[in-house]
């Protein structure tokens, strides 16, 4: 952890124990470290309260059960740990990272004999989110391709090497994120956000079958948009078609909605009023 993070939020929770970050230790044989054999969630903390806990907890439970993790603490216990961590750090606006690994185990890919799970909760500074002013990002198209559909595309697991190298491409290009394509060349998502676009008054977004991670904020926008006069169509789109859209947006827990203003050095269409409307709708209300 960076010193800035530990200065802001010095206490972490490891397997239910609250301790200073510099004292937290995880086994060198932990499968999360060795193989990315883990699941995780990143949650907003607003006004000292967790946002959209139920949706995040359900995705975490689905992922850990799908990977066959045994002995994972229940939802109520995890929530108690999270609330206590927020209290001990006096956190008002933050991001909470909740990670569950299969735990330490024998050498090799076979998970037999691993456990008990390692559970880590940490707090991190949250980016500023102004309800009426969504952040504007520039993207490049990554050379790395996402797998199309399959059981693991629906799991927010810890093996994120593809996203790491794609994000490194974006950093090298001096932009905020990288657009990831599927094997057929369709636009799917970015390294850390779901993709939407505005065309003919409707919002488009790639279907889950394209390999999209089922994002929590994506699901919220799918539910909210029709009531805002923005019906949503799930469909595939090519990058060249994306460039012809009226506007392009990203959704992610840490920021709500982000407006994409440039792709591969070329400006994109913009709809500031739509961006502001959707961004406001996605901000925490009664948390």
Is residue 213 domain-shared with residue 92, that is, in the same domain?
A: no
Whether 287 shows a pLDDT value over 50: the answer reads no
Q: Same domain for 104 and 182?
A: no
Q: Does 88 fall in a domain?
A: yes
Identify the CATH number of the domain in which residue 9 sits: 3.30.470.10
Q: Is the pLDDT of residue 3 over 70?
A: no
Residues 179 and 195: their CA atoms lie apart, in Å, by 9
pLDDT at 5: 65
Average pLDDT over residues 110-117: 97
| Domain assignment of residue 130, yes or no | no
Burial-class residue 284 by CB neighbours within 10 Å (0-12, 13-18, 19+): middle
2, pLDDT greater than 70: no
- The predicted pLDDT at position 133 comes to 81
- What pLDDT shows up at residue 148? 84
Tens digit of each residue's pLDDT (9 = 90 or more) over 244-282: 999 999 999 999 999 999 999 999 999 999 999 999 999
Q: Please state, in angstroms and as integers, the Cα–Cα distance from residue 220 to each residue in 26, 152, 213, 283, following that order.
A: 35, 22, 14, 11
pLDDT at 286: 45
Q: What are residue 117's phi and psi, to 5 degrees?
A: -60, 150
- What's the predicted TM-score (pTM) here? 0.94
Please determine, for residue 1, whether its predicted confidence score (pLDDT) is greater than 50: no
Same domain, 67 and 141: no
Q: Is the dihedral of CA 65, 69, 75, 76 positive or negative?
A: positive
- Could you tell me which residues come within 8 angstroms of residue 236 by beta carbon, excluding any fewer than 6 positions away? 184, 186, 206, 207, 210
Q: For the chain, give the secondary structure using H, E and C.
A: CCHHHHHHCCEEEECCEEEEHHHCCCCCCEHHHHHCCEEEEEEEEECCEECCHHHHHHHHHHHHHHCCCCCCCCHHHHHHHHHHHHHHCCCCCEEEEEEEECCECCCCCCCCCCCCCEEEEEEEECCCCECCECEEEEEEEEEEEECCCCHHHHCCECCCHHHHHHHHHHHHHCCCEEEEEECCCCEEEECCCEEEEEECCEEEECCHHHCCCCCHHHHHHHHHHHHHCCCEEECCCCHHHHCCCCEEEEEECCCEEEEEEEECCEECCCCHHHHHHHHHHHCCCCC
Q: How far apart are CA 182 and CA 164, in angstroms?
A: 17
pLDDT for res 4: 53
Q: Are residues 147 and 249 in the same domain?
A: yes
Which backbone phi and psi does 249 adopt, to 5 degrees? -130, 160
Same domain, 93 and 190: no
Write down the pLDDT at residue 49.
97
CATH code for position 210: 3.20.10.10
Domain span at residue 58 reads 3-125
pLDDT single digits (tens) 198-252: 999 999 999 999 999 999 999 999 999 999 999 999 999 999 999 999 999 999 9
What is the tally of structural domains in the chain? 2
Distance, CA of 218 to CA of 197 (rounded, Å): 12
Residue 59 in this model has a pLDDT that exceeds 90: yes
- State CA 153 to chain mean position distance: 13
The answer to whether residues 116 and 142 belong to one domain is no
Whether 173 and 93 share a structural domain: no
Give the C-alpha separation, 283 to 270, whole Å: 21
What is the pLDDT at residue 129? 78
| Shared domain check, 272 and 153 | yes
- Asked if residue 104 and residue 27 are part of one domain, the reply reads yes
Alpha-carbon distance 18 to 24, whole Å?
9
C-alpha distances out from residue 41 to 61, 150, 173, 265, Å? 10, 20, 28, 32
What's the rounded Cα separation, in Å, for the pair 101 and 240?
39
Q: How far apart are CA 24 and CA 11, in angstroms?
A: 9
């Amino acid at each position: 952890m960076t010193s800035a993070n530990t200065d802001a939020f010095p206490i972490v929770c490891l397997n239910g124990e609250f301790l200073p970050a510099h004292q937290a230790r995880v086994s060198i044989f932990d499968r999360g470290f060795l193989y990315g054999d883990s699941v995780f969630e990143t949650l907003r903390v607003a006004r000292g309260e967790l946002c959209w806990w139920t949706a995040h907890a359900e995705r975490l439970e689905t992922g850990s059960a799908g990977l066959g993790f045994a002995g994972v603490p229940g939802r109520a216990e995890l929530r108690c740990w999270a609330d206590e961590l927020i209290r001990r750090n006096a956190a008002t606006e933050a991001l909470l990272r909740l990670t569950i690994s299969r735990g330490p185990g024998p050498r090799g890919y076979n998970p037999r004999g691993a456990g008990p799970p390692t559970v880590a909760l940490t707090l991190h500074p949250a980016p500023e989110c102004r309800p009426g002013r969504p952040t504007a990002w520039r993207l490049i198209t990554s050379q790395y391709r996402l797998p199309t559909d399959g059981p693991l595309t629906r799991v927010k697991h810890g093996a994120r090497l593809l996203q790491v190298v794609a994000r490194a491409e974006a950093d090298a290009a001096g932009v905020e994120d990288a657009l990831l394509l599927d094997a057929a060349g369709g636009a799917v998502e970015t390294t850390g956000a779901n993709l939407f676009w505005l065309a003919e008054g409707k919002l488009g977004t790639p279907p889950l079958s394209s390999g999209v991670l089922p994002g929590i904020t994506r699901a919220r926008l799918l539910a909210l948009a029709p009531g805002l006069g923005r019906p949503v169509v799930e469909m595939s789109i090519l990058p060249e078609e994306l460039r012809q859209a009226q506007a392009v947006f990203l959704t992610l827990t840490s920021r709500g909605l982000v407006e994409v203003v440039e792709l591969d050095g070329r400006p994109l269409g913009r709809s500031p009023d739509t961006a502001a409307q959707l961004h406001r709708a996605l901000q925490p209300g009664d948390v």
